[in-house]
Structures are given as C-alpha cells and as structure tokens.
Amino acid sequence: MSTFVTACPRNCYSTCSLEVTVESGRIARITGLPANRATPEGPCIKGLSYVERAHSPERITRPLGREADGSLVPISWDIALDRITHALTRARAEHGPQSVLYYSASGTKGLLNGVGLAFWRLFGGCTTTYGDLCWPAGLEATRLTLGDNTHNAPWDLENARLIVMWGKNAAETNIHQMLHVHRALAQGAQLVVIDPRRTETAERAELLVQLRPGSDGALALGLGHILCRDGIVDRDFIARHVHGFDDYAAMVAEYPPARVASITEVPVETLERLARLIGTVHPCTLIPGFGMQRFTNSGQAMRAMLALVAITGQIGKPGAGWMYANLQTAVFSHVKDPLDFYPPEEPDGVVRVSISTARLGRDMLATLDPGQNGPPLRVAWVERGNPIPQNPETNLVREAFRRLDFRVVVEEFLTDTAREADVVLPAKNLFEQTDVIGAYWHPYLQLRQKVMEPPPEVKPETEIYRALGRRLGLDEAALAAALPGPSDEAIEAWLSAKLAPFGITLDQLRRGPVLSPAYEEVAFSDRRFPTPSGKIELRSEEARTRWGQDELPRYREPEERPTRGGKYPLHLLTPNTKNRIHSQFGNLQTLRRMAPAPFVAMHPADARARGLAEGARARLFNDRGALVLPVKLDWGTRPGCVTVTNGWWLAEGGAVNVLSCGRETDMGHGAAFHDNAVEVERA
Amino acid sequence: MEPSGRSTATPRLGLRSGTRPAFVFETDRCTACEACRIACGIENGGGHDTGWRKVTTFNPARHPALPTKHLSLACNHCDTAACMLGCPASAYHRDAATGAVIIDPRKCIGCRYCSWVCPYDAPRFDEARGVMTKCTFCAPRLAAGGEPACTQACPTGALALGTREDAAPDSELPLLGLGPTGLGPALKLVLPGRATPPPMLATEALAAGDDRPEQPVPPRKIHLGGEWALLVFTLIMPALTAWLGAGLRLPARGPSLASFLALGGLAMVVTTLHLGQPLRAWRAILNVRTSWLSREILLANAFLGLGTLHLLWPEPRSLGWGAFAAGLGLCVAIDGVYRAVPRLEPRRPHSAEAFLTAVFLTGCALSSPVLQVAAGAVKAALFVGRWRAGHHALPPALSGVRLVLLAASCLIVSDLWWLALGLALLGELLDRGAFYAELEPASPARRMASELLRRLPRA
C-alpha cells in the first residue's frame, strides 16, 4: 500500500489536491489534502468516484476499429495506426494538411496537452478551432475592464461582509467554495444569490433574486442607476482608479428602477434593497458564474456587473473583489486566456484557425461548400473532448462528423463522439502519466502524479503521436524535439524544464500544492490595472474596435428570447450539477445511483398549463431538435423557465445541446448556449 | 443556538484520549452532495452503496413557504442502543475502544427487528446475505487514531467527528425528522446559527399557487405482503391459547393433539422460514434479558411444549394450566415486541393486540358472557376510536364487516361456540391485518414527510 499526493485535472473550479492510496495495483481510496487552503476538506463525489473510474469495466483499454457492419471492435495498435496513417496521408495528399481538424477540449488539464499541436505542425499543419465553450465573454469583459483575470485567494472570501453570488451555484459546481462561504456567514456576512433558480446555494441567501434569464446586464445597470442616484458610490476611488465614470453615470440614468423592473421582471423594491446592500455592506465580493455569460449579450452584461465593483470601490482589498477567474497559475505561456482563444491576426499558413468552437457543426459543414476558400475537412482527430453532445447544435455537429471520411477519437469511455469514430484510441487516465496543472480559482500549481502503470495497451498521447509520427515517416529528430521521451524520467525532465524558470521542483510538487509565482492573496491591491488607461475602464474603446460593441456596457436583449404566447415561450436553462463535469462521470455506477436518468424540472404553474403532472413524459422542442423527458415539478424554478441539467449523453436521451444554437457571445468568441427558447408539450 | 463550532479546518484525526467519538452534523453547511455516502461505500462496500449513510432532504421540491434542509445520518451508536436491546439473537455488541455499536452478521438471524426499533433507521437488511448490516463507525479507523470515511470525505465540513462528551444528550430537530428518543445518540447537531427562512423569492410571479409538493418517503419496511408469516403467528398463538384454555374448563371444547401440533407447528415453521437465516433460528432465545422478541420465542416454545405434554398426559391439569399461562405470557410478549417500535403518532392501545385477542377468544370458546362481551366491547371501542381518529388502514366496507363479525361473535353465547370462535377469528384476521398495515416504524424520512405536510400552508 502506498499513498501519493496528486490533483484532479478536470475542468472545474476546485482543482482539488488529492491523496491517493494504491493497494495491489488498484486505486483504493481518495481523500482531500488540508495543505490546499482552498480545498482543505474532502474531494467532491466525482473525485471520490475515481476509485471506480480508474478500474471501470467500461473503460476503453484497447484500440477500437469500425467494422464493415458498423460495429466498433477491438483491433491491434498496428491496425489502428495503419488505418489512421492511411486516412491522414490520403487527406493530406488530396486536400492538404488543413483538411484535418484537430479538436481538443478541456477534459483534462496539463502542460503535456500542448504536444498535440506540436505534432500536427510536424504533420504539415491542420485546422483548429478558436474561441471556447466555457467562459470567454466573462474573461474578455474582465480583461477590458480590469486589464487582467485574477482575483483574491479563495480563502479571502471569509473576510467578506457581503457575498453576491450572481449566476453561480457553488454548492454544486464549486462545492469547496461553500466552506469559505459558510465561514463568512458564521462571522456575520450576508449572502445574496441572483439566479433564475432557487439553487442549493440560495438556501443560505438573505435574498434570492430570480431574474429573467439573459437580463443580467439590465439588472446591473439598474443597480448602477440606484447607486449613482443615491450617491452610494466611492467617489475617491472613482476619481483615482476609474475611467469613463461620467459617461457611465449618464448612461445608467437611462435605466431607472421601473424600466429595469419591466426588463428583468424583478420588483422595484428588490432592486432598491439589492442596490443598498451592494452600496453599503462592505467589503463585498461579487462572484459571477459562467452560465450567465453564455448569452449573446453577456460580455456587455459582465462589463455592467464589473462596473458595480468599480463604482463602489470594492476591489484590491481583503474580502472584496470580482471573483470570476483567477489565472495566477497561467505562468507557462506568454499569451493568457482569453487572448489565446482568438484566431491569429496573421495566419501562419500552417495551422488554419477557422472553426468557431461555438459554431462547430455549422463551420465544419461550411468547409464543404464549393465556394469556400481553403480545403474541405476530411479527417477529424478529437482528444479530451466529447463535442457531439457538448457543443451547441448537437445534431449539426454530429452531421458534420458523419460527413467526414475518417474520425479518430482518443477516449477513456465510449462517449457519443467516440461512438461515431472510425478508430478509438484508449486514453490514459489521470493516474497514469505525470503532468503539471494549474487552476482557475485557487493559486496553486500542482502535480498530477503518475501513481500506476496504464493497462498494457493504453498509451499516453505523447506516445500515440510518436508512434503515429513514425508511421507517417515524419523526421525522427523533429519528433524527438517536439515530444518528450517515453520514459517517466524523460517526462519528468520535460516538466522540470518548464518549472525551472520559477524555481519550482517536481519534488516540491510531490509533497503538495505550491503557490504560483504570480500569487497575490489580494488581487489589484496595488490599484494597477493593466488597461490602456491604467484604470478600471467603464468605457472601453477596445469593446468597439475588437468586438463592434458599444464602448459603454449598454443593455441589449439576447438574440433569441422566449416570447409569451409565441411559438417558443419557455427559456431552457442547462446548468451543471454536482454529479458531472460536463459529460464526464455520468456513466459511473457511483454517480448513477444519485442521478440515474435525465428529467426536465419545471414550475407547477407551467406544468399545469400544459397538462403535465409529476413524472409525465414531456417533449421539449424548438426548431433545432427535441428531447423527451419525464417532468419533475420544482417550485424553485422561475415560471417561464425549464431546466435540464447539462452533460447527459445522446445515448442517455438527455443531450441538451440538441436544443441549443451555434452562436457566439458578443465578445470573446464564447458559445451563447443560453439563448435558448423552447416549448414543452405532452409526449 | 450553537455557534458554528469550527472556524478552521476540521482536524483530520484525533479524538483526545479518554473521549468517546460522536458525529457532529451542522445542518446549514450540508449541501446534500452525498460525498459521505459514497465514501462509506468505498470504505465499507467495496465501492457499492452500503446504504448505511443516507442523506435525506426536507422540502426537496423547494416549496416557497419552507426552507430546504438536508440530514446526513448513519448510526448514532446510542448509549441505549435500541437495536442491541431488541436483537433476540445477541448479534450486537459494543466496541470497547470506541463505543461503536457493532452487529456481527455471522450471529444475525435476519429477523429485521432491529430495523423496526431503531428510530434513526440505521440497520439495513442485506437481501443477498439474509442478514442485517450497519454503520460500524469505521471503528478500526477510529481505533487507529483516524476518523470515519464519511466525516473525512465531507467537503464542506458539515459532517465531522466530535466527541460524545460534547454531544447534547438528545438531538432534536423536527424539521429534519429528529425527535427525542431518549437513547443517548452519539450525534451533535449544530443547529442553524440564525433564523433560516426560505430565501426570499423576489418575483411576484413565483407565488406557489394551489399545487402542493409531495415529499418522497422511503418504501415501507412493514407491509402485509412481507409480513404475512407474522400475521399467521400472531393470530394462531392467541387462538391456540384460547382453545387450549377452553379445554381446561370444558375438555370437550379443547384441541386434539394433532390439531394443536398442526397449528402450532405451522406458526413456528412460517415464522422461521420468514427469517433471513432460518438455520440460525435457535439463536432467537439468546437475549431474553432485554429483547421482547427473544421472550416471545422462548414463551412460544414453552407454550407449545407444555401444551403438547398436557394433551399427551391430561393429568395432572397443572401442566395444562402452565401451558395456558405460557400462552398468555406469549401474547403479552407479542404485544411487547410491537410496543417497542417507534411511531409517528402517539401510541394508542390497538384493538388487535394479542393479549386482548387471547382473552376475547377464550371467552368465545367458553361461551363466557363476561369475557366474551367485555373483551369484545373493549375491542369494539378501541376499533371505533381508531377509526374516528383516522389512524386506520381498513377501508370502510371492511371496517363494517369487521364490526359485524365482532358483534355476531359476541352475541352467539351458546353451544354454537365454534361458530362464535370462527366468526371472531375472521374478524381478528381483518383487524390484525390492519394492525400490520398501520405499523410503520417512524424514521427520520417519515417524520420529515409528515412535518412537511404539517407546515405547508393549506391550499
């Protein structure tokens, strides 16, 4: 029996430090690590379930190949690599290397993820995506306003007197934050939750503001109006550190409470009460989630929310700030998010960055149009992602994949995307190769440590690319330069070289999490904001020049919105739950016990109006697709909204993105999943 | 009001020496993530759900008039452990080092009685093995200076290991289904630090309307389909007692040896086969000191043994009187078994209790107007009283039939004693059936459901 310190590499706020016990070659136990001040208690249920996931009988442990009858059967590595080599060579010969789509997503964090693109450059090039499904509108809004995406340490939340959780349900998506919320509440802090749903987080709230989805920007401007009207702003802070306040104040004058109440459907007295809390209970930490920045108007909405922090002077102090994204651990690249999401201004002629992640299906299909510049996509290589159910417009994404000649998916499990593949290559799991990971909530660099050998036929991507490169006849020396060697020692040497500039060693990381060299407990405590004006920018020229938006964060309705009495009168909410990270974990028995099947939650008034009772089969539909699901009555869902949690697979009948639309957010090239109007009827 | 308890990270280890462990549960910190439950399965179930720790939610449908709260509960390892006291097979013991109440599945006969008497719903029946299992407090981990898997896993610090010395003598929180038990649970509830109204719903459109949510309740533990063997036993034994007793006064009305053995044997066989581990049935008499169930089984054997001897050798009659006394004692024990089951409603005497039935049937068999009519009248009064109070499982038509049968059997005071006895037995069958249908042990989940109904505003 031996224990190791490692870390969970999922795309999750918490990025927990873990202590893993290995017994007779199996993961026997997983516990938390108090050395991580952000996650000192236990891991979440998904972290615990690695005990099952690491040894699941459903795990793919050998290459799978598509047979003539359409089935996927185990094949040897030789055959798998031969088939891939044949398809790649042919596509490159007929259409050039950019007819190959390299699609990688956020399934696993790690520095070694970067070797993929290095390989494809050796191949001669490829096509990749730009933008990101998750959080770019908020990142960009923050960058435009504050100059950088960083925030106070997670534990600093305990110093807050007012916590405004805006569109974030930390109890399910960042459970470790609740520890700090509870400690703050125990010391007398107040919690406000702004969310169309009465979430688990909201149970602890002083005030729950169930606004109309997508109207967050108007709510923020209305609050700004009241703060300016009543003079509960920090005039000294504004004078020193805020750019564009006068223009902002003139603009919010157009958003009096009565108007905002009609847009947001939040009563005037609630607006007044909320504004007074934000203006007077300090320090105040505003914690926006990711969900509310996935509308077509949400970059501007986030800027309007940031303005509340700015005009009340709630930044750069303990217990205060804008807790959206903390990129203090992003020290390994010169280009940080969100800028590295954007297509290069000058294409390098090798990698074509032409597919918007938000419009994956549409843009892939568009390459097939005869009039298009550039080669049509013929082959796709997918790793660390499950784009068919997870990207907007699932039906179009699936069609786009089906229109290709050949698909390779590197996966641990037979996901919806893997099911469409011609070759599925077995992926390593987090216990089988060492890597260094950062986080986006806490400031720790961590080692995701190798604690066991992979199954005999599972190879890490570094090895897959090396073997494929040899088949393709790529230059051996160039391959060796691009990819770290196969041995554990070579991987460690590669990682050590990455860490060396910061004076951090692997041995340090083996003992526990290490604070990033860019760590600041209180972000912006020096009041230096790396914006063009050096101040917090309420007016941003770049909002106009880069994104074509108003320089001020004016409110605009989302492109798609439900209309009462219209064809699609209901707003579909597709939040994440504690039981999954996007489409991962739901296939495990451990999680299935808690969430066996998808359902649609709706307010009894909406259900009654459609003749639907608890458990009735309902059909959710719009012009893009339909789902048939049982109804769960939920008094906590805002009337006019229905909720299906995100992450169910097509194979489970609950893939929510059959209903979403491939659209970009107003800035940042994010995916505006949440502009999503539906109707529900009896199935 | 309790303070929040811990302002820093929960200590990973560490009971002070000389202190005894207790679970500490802080209601406001629990988000129902269920890490405790999963960690228990990993530690104790080989990755499968042990069912030992459950997270139950009050108001899961989030009715706006009420808060939503969660309770994570396993075994409270009570000072006065109802499971251990009730277990007829002495399968339970207390771990000396930790105070944990432990069941040894190798000694368990699978009667499930501990799951009836535990007010916290802690013991679980393992269908595959035919025995009960339950939370062990992770006693080996505790003994080694660690903490239980569940408390160690809790990511929010809602569930932690504390000491019994700090625990309140009885943890009560009606909203979470916890009432006073008097058992001394090793559970410290850290109650809400401030009033916890439901979050303010800031939109007029969110009015609740007339719809009322349902609180899911766990499946019943006691239902006729599963407990018919007990119905057979608890009906045959008073009847056989009455029949044998009648024969002592009027030998012509007594049972033959064959019918006595056939009926008594039937009762014993069906109850034995009803056990999860019938081959260990002999263990059922090992805990006469504290278990009414053990007493019941011992007295049943005494009654059948003495009754058989009496029917073989009618003289001296003292053997027969001894058997009759054992039979009446058995009926008292039967009633004792059920009296120990915790109930949602205050317990009232039931018209189908075994001792009362034995007296009534004895009256019928002897055509004794005093016994027959008096006991019948008591039964009728209890039955009607229960019906009117609404704690009643028989549908109205069957209730009518039951009363007609009771009246008829009371009025036939003559040589037609066998008809009176037969009609009485039919009536008792209905009433005893209702007894089981009405007998569901109160668990936190059931208490929670009834509390929700009580607190919901009337539509």
* Confidence at residue B6, expressed as pLDDT on a 0 to 100 scale: 31
SS3 of A190, please? strand
What pLDDT band is residue B390 in, cutting at 50, 70 and 90?
confident
Contact A548, A299 (CB under 8 A): no
Query: What pLDDT digit, counting tens, does each position of B227-272 carry?
Result: 999 999 999 999 999 999 999 999 999 999 999 999 999 999 999 9
Query: d(Cα A258, Cα A264) in Å, to the nearest integer?
Result: 10
pLDDT tens digits for B339-367? 999 998 888 899 999 999 999 999 999 99
Of the candidates A186, A187, A608, the beta carbon closest to that of B211 is on A608
Whole-Å CA distances, A461 to A353, A416, B452: 22, 21, 54
Residue with tokens 């996927």: A72
A40 contacts in B (CB within 8 Å)?
Answer: 9
Closest partner CB to A634 (pick from B28, B33, B61): B61
Q: Residue A619 burial by CB count (10 A; 0-12/13-18/19+): exposed, middle or buried?
A: middle
- Closest A-chain CA to B61: A634
Q: Do the Cβ atoms of B238 and B331 come closer than 8 Å?
A: yes
Q: Pick from A249, A270, A341: which is nearest to A299 by CA?
A: A341
Average pLDDT of adjacent 10-residue blocks, chain A of 683 residues: 95 97 95 95 96 97 97 98 98 98 96 95 97 97 98 98 98 97 96 96 94 97 98 98 98 98 95 98 98 97 98 98 97 87 92 96 95 93 98 98 98 98 97 97 98 96 96 95 94 97 97 97 98 98 98 98 94 97 96 94 95 97 98 94 97 96 97 98 96
Separation in Å, CA of A184 to nearest CA in chain B: 10
| Distance between CA atoms of residues B438 and B434, nearest Å | 6
| CA A3 – CA A449 distance, rounded (Å) | 11
The neighbouring-strand residues paired with A203 are: none
Check CB contact of B206 with chain A, cutoff 8 Å.
yes
Distance CA A370, CA A123 (A): 25
Distance CA A138, CA A338 (A): 9
Q: What are phi and psi of B93, to 5 degrees?
A: -145, 170
Closest CA of chain B from A161, distance in Å:
16
- Provide the pLDDT for residue B12: 44
For residue A604, which residues of chain B lie inside 8 Å, CB to CB? 209, 211
CA distances (Å), origin A338, targets A335, A341, A522, A553, B342: 8, 5, 22, 19, 61
Q: Which of B363, B294, B334 is nearest to B435 (CA)?
A: B334
**End-to-end C-alpha distance for chain B, whole angstroms:** 33
B181–chain A nearest CA distance, Å: 29
Distance between CA atoms of residues A232 and B294, nearest Å: 74
Is B29 in the A-facing interface, judged by CB distances under 8 Å? yes
B/e letters for B357-370, b = 16+ CB within 10 Å, e = fewer, are bbbbbbbbbbbbee
Q: Looking at residues B192-214, what average pLDDT do you find?
A: 64
What crossing angle do the helices spanning A461-471 and A115-123 adopt, rounded to 10°? Answer: 10
pLDDT at residue B11, rounded to an integer: 39
Per CB-CB distance under 8 Å, the chain B contacts of A202 are 199
Q: Check residue A391 and give left, alpha or beta (phi > 0: left; psi -120 to 50: alpha).
A: beta
The minimal CB distance from B156 to the residues A179, A206, A266 is found for A179
Subunit contact B155:A604, Cβ cutoff 8 A: no
Cβ under 8 Å to A: B residues 36-55: 38-39, 41-43, 47-49
Local structure of A415: helix, strand or coil: coil
SS3 A604: helix
Contacts of B205 in chain A (CB under 8 A): 265, 638-640
Contact between A562 and A679 under an 8 Å Cβ cutoff? The reply is no
Element (H, E) at A146: helix A136-146
Give the pLDDT confidence score for residue B112 in this predicted structure. Answer: 96
The answer to whether residue B237 neighbours chain A at the CB level (below 8 Å) is no
Is the separation of the CB atoms in A388 and A420 below 8 Å?
A: yes
Q: A7 vs A47, A358, A426, A651, CA distance in Å?
A: 9, 29, 22, 30
Cα A534 from Cα B192, distance rounded (Å): 46
Size of interface A-B (CB pairs under 8 A): 156
Strand segments (E) across A401-477:
406-411, 423-426, 435-437, 444-448
Q: For residue range B25-59, what is the model confidence (pLDDT) as tens digits?
A: 999 999 999 999 999 999 999 989 999 999 999 99
Going by their DSSP bridges, the two strands A423-426 and B101-103 should be labelled as unpaired
Say what percent of chain B tops pLDDT 70.
Answer: 91
**DSSP class of residue A406?**
E
* Set of chain A residues whose Cβ sits within 8 Å of the Cβ of B202: 207-210, 266-267, 270
Please tell me what DSSP assigns to residue A36. Answer: S
Could you tell me the CA-to-CA distances from B301 to B196, B245, B294, B377 in Å, in that order? 56, 17, 11, 31
Q: Which amino acid is at A606?
A: D
Cβ contact B68–A200 (<8 Å)? yes
Residues 125-144 (B) with a CB less than 8 A from some CB of A: none
**What count of other Cβ atoms lies within 10 Å of the Cβ of residue B3?**
9
B408 SS3 class: helix
Please give, rounded to a whole number of angstroms, the shortest distance from the CA of B140 to a CA of chain A: 16
pLDDT band at residue B15, thresholds of 50, 70 and 90? low
Best mutation target, B42, B72, B159, to test chain A (most A CBs within 10 A): B42
Average pLDDT over residues B427-445: 94
User: How distant is the alpha carbon of residue A298 from its chain centre?
Assistant: 15
Q: At how many degrees (to 10) do helices A268-280 and A216-230 cross?
A: 60
As a whole number of angstroms, the longest Cα–Cα distance in chain B is 86
H helix or E strand, kind and range, residue A126: strand A126-130
A344: how many CB neighbours lie within 10 A of its CB?
10
**A219 CA to chain B: closest CA distance, Å?**
13
- Does A44 contact B34 at a Cβ distance shorter than 8 Å? no
CB proximity B246 to A under 8 Å: no
Contact B155 A31 (CB under 8 A): no
CB contact under 8 A, B206 and A210: yes
Which residues on A lie below 8 Å from B206 (Cβ)? 210, 603, 638-639
Contacts of B63 in chain A (CB under 8 A): 635
Structure token pair of residue A364: 């892939």
Are A650 and A664 spatial neighbours (Cβ–Cβ below 8 Å)? no
N-to-C CA span, chain A: 54
Q: How is A218-229 classified by DSSP, letter by letter?
A: HHHHHHHHHHHH
Angle formed by the axes of helices A268-280 and A257-264, nearest 10°: 110
Chain A residues closer than 8 Å to B48 by CB = 589
**Which pLDDT belongs to residue B209?**
63
* Rounded-to-5 percentages of helix, strand, coil across chain A: 35, 20, 45
Which of B9, B64, B214 lies at the smallest CB-CB distance from A40?
A: B9
What residues of A are in contact with residue B32 (Cβ under 8 Å)?
200
> What is each CA distance from A141 to A358, A519, A543, in whole angstroms?
18, 22, 8
**CA–CA dist B67, B197 (Å, integer):** 6
By the 8 A CB rule, do B350 and B381 touch? no
Vertex B119 angle, CA B118 and B123, to 5°? 35
Where does residue B170 rank: exposed (0-12), middle (13-18), buried (19+ CB within 10 A)? middle
Interface contact B17, partner A, CB < 8 A: no
CB B227 within 8 A of CB B436: yes
State the Cα–Cα distance between residues A67 and B399, nearest whole angstrom: 68
Predicted confidence at residue B171, as pLDDT, reads 65
Q: Is the pLDDT of residue B207 over 70?
A: no
Which element (helix H / strand E) includes A100? strand A100-104
Q: What is the DSSP string of A4-28?
A: EEEE--SSSS---EEEEEEETTEEE
Query: Nearest 5°: CA angle at B74, between B72 and B77?
Result: 130
Best of B53, B141, B194, B201 to substitute, by most chain A Cβ atoms within 10 angstroms, is: B201
Q: Which residue of A has its CA nearest to B204?
A: A267
For residue B7, name the pLDDT band (cuts at 50, 70, 90).
very low
For strands B92-94 and B101-103, give the pairing.
antiparallel
